[in-house]
Structure 1
Amino acid sequence: MSDILCVSQDEIIHQIKLSYQIPTIAESIITRKIMINAAQEAGIKVETEELQEAADSLRLMNQLESAEATWAWLQTHRLTLDDFEELVYYTVIYSKLTEHLFADKVEEFFVEHQSDYVQVVMYEVVFDDLDLAMELFYAIQEGEISFTEVAHKYSHDVEIRRCGGYKGILSRTNLKPEISTAVFAVTPPQLLKPIVTSKGVHLINVEEIVTPQLNQTLRLKIISNLASQWLKKQLEQMKFEVVISC
């Protein structure tokens, strides 16, 4: 029978120190304080129905489909029911506060930064040999071989090989700058001349440029980005000291 080892609260705090996590955790605490103060100043209230909806979403996100599963999850994370309710409350407050602060700024931000949300549907094979990549580039152009055949034969990535080189729908931030510049400059469909980067030689076929639409998903993403920028500025303007009492 194995021995039971107990971990004290002081030991947990000490481990957090040794893991260099104190500044990160302190910043999270200050961020929450900023959020709560701003919500109070704005007169934001949380309704019971909103709390219930957020609680249901949190349980769904964590696959807590029964009371037993929820209780086991709480025990695993050393949370009480009061802690759970507090977590739900902060979730609702953050959502309502960011909506209050930035909902009317979304369209203007989208128009000014629309190019940042343009996406590309592309296929790619990465080579170690520039000469081979060039040879296959011309072979595809001449119709001697298809891009899919090249991917099946030459791709080192098993999943990419199975998908015929398909990389998915990507944003500028998903690509290296030299690749992003080339990809978003063409009129698809277009096979790009091999591009050399630190990762190898990229043979890319651009299938489609996806023009962004300001749907609900993108709207929430923009609000989240604006909120992150706002919180960052609040933190930069504020000096705080971490005091851990024993």
Structure 2
Amino acid sequence: MTAVLKVGQRTITAEEIIPLLARYQLLPQLVRELLVDEAIASVECSPEELDAACEQIFLRHQLELPEARQNWLKSQGQTLELFRANTLRSFKLEKFKQTTWGPKLESYFLTRKGQLDRVIYSLIRTQDPGIAQELYFRIQEGEQSLAELAAEYSQGPEAQTGGLIGPVELTVPAPPLARMLSVSKPGQLWPPTRLGEWFVIVRLEKFLPVQLDDGVRQRLLNELFNGWLQEQLAQLGAPDSPDSTPTASQ
């Protein structure tokens, strides 16, 4: 048996690697990364592109001097050669995402926009329908502000913020509440509505429509890539791993 690794007093043989990966639930991640390697094998990266990508990472970490870069690489447990190899893989992976799904991104964005839009809203929740109705009338008549009443009566964590919640994406609130907010106009106050065990008073404060900026583009590219990767794993009959994103970036 061929020894391939020594950990403490234990020597790991080649025959033990796969069973150990399976036991510690690392095999799915290995399969995932191998699929990525296969997908990006034909993606080209010029020496100039690799140099620029490495330089960008160094500058991101404010590493301008060679000595500082060497110390940082050492702290990361990397040699310069390994760093460049990892950067090359990250660059090729991002290029693969852009080439494969970049042209589809705008249409995908339109299908996801309703979930990515954000809202700021105020909420009072109570389990007593009578109190909910009384508080609603007080707000409606201008006797007291929603913030004052939320701080005194609301039975959730929003009491600490005067009922104010957000900004959050519309996927965060419970679906019935999200539907109410999605059809609201800023300033619209909803009368007490039963949501599960609660009676809630809701007011939309601000609607923040999502824009297809660089951050959103990257998020959607990652979603499309991860969806594709899950399909590839399913075809192989491989189990999912907890982390769905290959660990290739610096």
Say yes or no: TM over 0.5: yes
Q: Indicate the structure with greater strand content.
A: 2
Report the CA distance between 1:73 and its aligned residue. 4.6
> 2:183 maps to which residue?
185
Note the alpha carbon deviations across 1:189-213, whole angstroms, 9 max, x for none.
2112233334633322111222222
Note the alpha carbon deviations across 1:168-226, whole angstroms, 9 max, x for none.
11222101111111111222221122333346333221112222222222111111111
Equivalent residue in structure 2 for 1:170, among 168, 171, 185: 168
Question: Partners of 1:132 and 1:17 in 2: how far apart?
Answer: 59
Report the CA distance between 1:126 and its aligned residue. 2.5
- 1:213-232 matches, within 5 Å, as 213-232=211-230
- Local SS of the residue matching 2:236: coil
Report the CA distance between 1:229 and its aligned residue. 1.0
- Local SS of the residue matching 1:175: coil
Question: Partners of 1:19 and 1:201 in 2: how far apart?
Answer: 48
Flag structure 2 segments of 5+ consecutive residues without an equivalent: 1-7, 63-67, 240-250
> 2:130 maps to which residue?
131
Deviates more, 1:136-145 or 1:36-45: 36-45
- Tell me the amino acid that sits aligned with residue 113 of structure 2: Q
Question: Partners of 2:32 and 2:226 in 1: how far apart?
Answer: 10
The structure-2 alpha-carbon separation of the partners of 1:136 and 1:238, relative to structure 1 and needing over 3 Å to count, comes to same
Question: Partners of 1:201 and 1:72 in 2: how far apart?
Answer: 57
> 2:114 maps to which residue?
115
- Tell me the amino acid that sits aligned with residue 185 of structure 1: V
- Local SS of the residue matching 2:176: helix
TM-score (norm 2): 0.72
Question: Partners of 2:21 and 2:90 in 1: how far apart?
Answer: 29
* Count of residues in correspondence between the two structures: 220
> 1:244 maps to which residue?
none
Overall identity of the aligned pairs, in %: 19
- 1:25-40 matches, within 5 Å, as 25-40=26-41
The structure-2 alpha-carbon separation of the partners of 1:193 and 1:20, relative to structure 1 and needing over 3 Å to count, comes to farther
Question: Partners of 1:88 and 1:204 in 2: how far apart?
Answer: 48
Equivalent residue in structure 2 for 1:205, among 198, 203, 206: 203
1:51–1:92 Cα contact (<8 Å) kept: no
- Local SS of the residue matching 1:207: strand
Report the CA distance between 1:227 and its aligned residue. 1.0
> 1:234 maps to which residue?
232
Equivalent residue in structure 2 for 1:54, among 53, 57, 68: 57
Note the alpha carbon deviations across 1:63-86, whole angstroms, 9 max, x for none.
xxx669746753xxxx44365555
Flag structure 1 segments of 5+ consecutive residues without an equivalent: 1-5, 61-65, 242-246
> 2:95 maps to which residue?
96
TM-score (norm 1): 0.73
- Tell me the amino acid that sits aligned with residue 143 of structure 1: G
Compute the RMSD of aligned alpha carbons.
Answer: 3.3
